[in-house]
Amino acid sequence: MVSQNVAVLPSGLELAYTDSGAVSGSSNYTTLILVHGCGFNARTFETLHDHAATFNLRTIAFQRRDYPGSTPFTDDEITEIQQGSEEYLSKTQNMMIDFIRYVVEKLSIPAIWKLSGQEAGKLDGGIALLGWSLGSYFPLALFSNPERVTPESRKILGKYLRSLIIYDSPYVALGFPLPSIKPSAGEEESVSPSDFPAAVSSYFDQPDNWAGDLDQLDQRSKTEKNIWSDWTEEQRNKYVTMSTLLRCEFPTFAGPIQAHFLKNTQKALYDETLAQEYLPDLSIGVLSVGRTLWYCRWMMWHLVQTNREKLDEGKKIRELKTAHLQQYSHLAHMEDPVLFLVQRYKMQSCCVLGFWSFFVPFKEPRILTLSERNVKSKWLSWLSSAGRVGKFPDRRSVIQH
């Protein structure tokens, strides 16, 4: 049963969150903590809650600071963001650790289970931490100052945190500079705050199987077809918090704080020492989206390419696991949450991320082909039969079915 709660952290901060609840009858469910993006708040993840238990998941989505129900930033903290103070990243790291510990200690979730027998090497339970869009810098803040993480917190993270997922993030969330390329002739380079929701939720004509040629990308600032235009005023007010954009989100897009974002990204993805000594069992994945903004598409591709190049050079870093949704917008998780979870459930026997490991490339956004509807219907029917919904059946029987 979905509940709304407020986590009171040791620092005194309050974070509002929604929770799908413990999975009835399961002692090895995975807890998926979701960190929302810029302007689009945690309520955009609520569509996942209703289906989470079917796939042995508990989903928890919290409102970041300055969003409804959570502690707002003080004026001094806004200044820290604007000035790019390292103290802000240190506070973000502490907040993320404190919230993870709250989930572990107050909600009594299962720790990581290491399977044996035919499934040796695979995992159940534990926490998968997903950062969407600008929200990706929050999970990555765990790498801000590893030396400041207490032995007790490090032990808890090692016991519970199994994967970190970077979901369709723009370059500003990770601190990378844009490649030297100009938008297509005649197109707007910037988006006003009032147009931001339409731009973020637009369907761009990005190429299939894109391999890095920037000239092939649709670089428009927004498109006529976008999810924001289809929403009612009630939906817009529910899912988007416009007041945060100018106050505390846009200031992170440039300036000194970008250097700190880049440092955290490089520590998490490319630091050999940290890969071996700080949360060495942590898996990191990249979830990219096909019809997203061009700079999100480029950023996800660039992360993976750089990771592969360093691995080819013999660097002992974390190998990024990848998944891709070709025909979805930046709001992919809202478009068909059930099919997200169907694919995760179907392929979880070979899922290293502990979340999604495979996505069907759709031909039209929000319209499934007959074969795709059959896949979805078949799996939902099978899960619903014999009381399997809300219970986690033996994995081998799922794969053999």
**Strand segments (E) across 63-191:** 112-114, 123-125, 127-132, 161-167
pLDDT exceeds 70 at position 306? yes
pLDDT band of residue 181 (cuts 50, 70, 90) is low
Quick one: DSSP state of residue 246?
I
User: Dihedral of CA 350/300/20/153: which sign?
Assistant: positive
Q: What is the pTM of this model?
A: 0.87
At 323-365, the pLDDT tens digits run 888 888 999 999 878 766 654 544 343 333 333 333 333 333 3
At 202-226, the pLDDT tens digits run 999 999 888 888 989 999 999 999 9
pLDDT band of residue 379 (cuts 50, 70, 90) is very low
Q: Domain total for the chain? A: 1
Query: What is the Cα–Cα distance from 261 to 322, expressed in whole angstroms?
Result: 21
Query: What is the Cα–Cα distance from 246 to 232, expressed in whole angstroms?
Result: 23
Q: In this structure, what CATH number is given to the domain that contains residue 45?
A: 3.40.50.1820
Beta-carbon contacts of 117 under 8 Å, excluding residues fewer than 6 positions away, are none
Q: Quick check: 111 and 125 in contact, CB under 8 A?
A: yes
At 1-13, the pLDDT tens digits run 789 999 999 999 9
pLDDT of residue 183: 52
> For residue 366, with 0-12 CB atoms within 10 Å meaning exposed, 13-18 middle and 19 or more buried, which class applies?
middle
At 54-110, the pLDDT tens digits run 888 999 999 999 999 999 999 999 999 999 999 999 999 999 999 999 999 999 999
Helix axes 257-270, 294-312, angle to 10 degrees: 40
pLDDT exceeds 80 at position 395? no
Domain that holds residue 37: 3-400
Structure tokens at 110: 């299962």
Q: Quick check: 304 and 212 in contact, CB under 8 A?
A: no
pLDDT band of residue 117 (cuts 50, 70, 90) is low
Q: Quick check: 173 and 249 in contact, CB under 8 A?
A: no
Nearest to 389 by CA among 11, 14, 26: 26
pLDDT of residue 366: 37
pLDDT exceeds 60 at position 187? no
Task: Check residues 220 and 382 and name the one with the higher pLDDT.
Answer: 220
Query: What stretch of H or E contains 5?
Result: strand 3-8
At 261-285, the pLDDT tens digits run 999 999 999 999 999 999 999 999 8
Beta bridge mates, 112: 125
At 141-165, the pLDDT tens digits run 999 999 999 999 999 999 999 999 9
pLDDT of residue 329: 94
Q: Quick check: 176 and 299 in contact, CB under 8 A?
A: yes
HSE, side-chain direction, 13 A CA sphere, residue 31: 24
Task: Check residues 337 and 44 and name the one with the higher pLDDT.
Answer: 44
Nearest to 290 by CA among 218, 368, 184, 196: 218
Q: What percent of the chain has pLDDT over 90?
A: 68
At 230-267, the pLDDT tens digits run 999 999 999 999 999 999 999 999 889 999 999 999 99
pLDDT of residue 189: 54
Query: What is the Cα–Cα distance from 162 to 30, expressed in whole angstroms?
Result: 9
Range of lowest pLDDT (37-46, 92-101, 314-323) = 314-323
Q: Is 176 left (phi over 0), alpha (psi -120 to 50) or beta?
A: beta
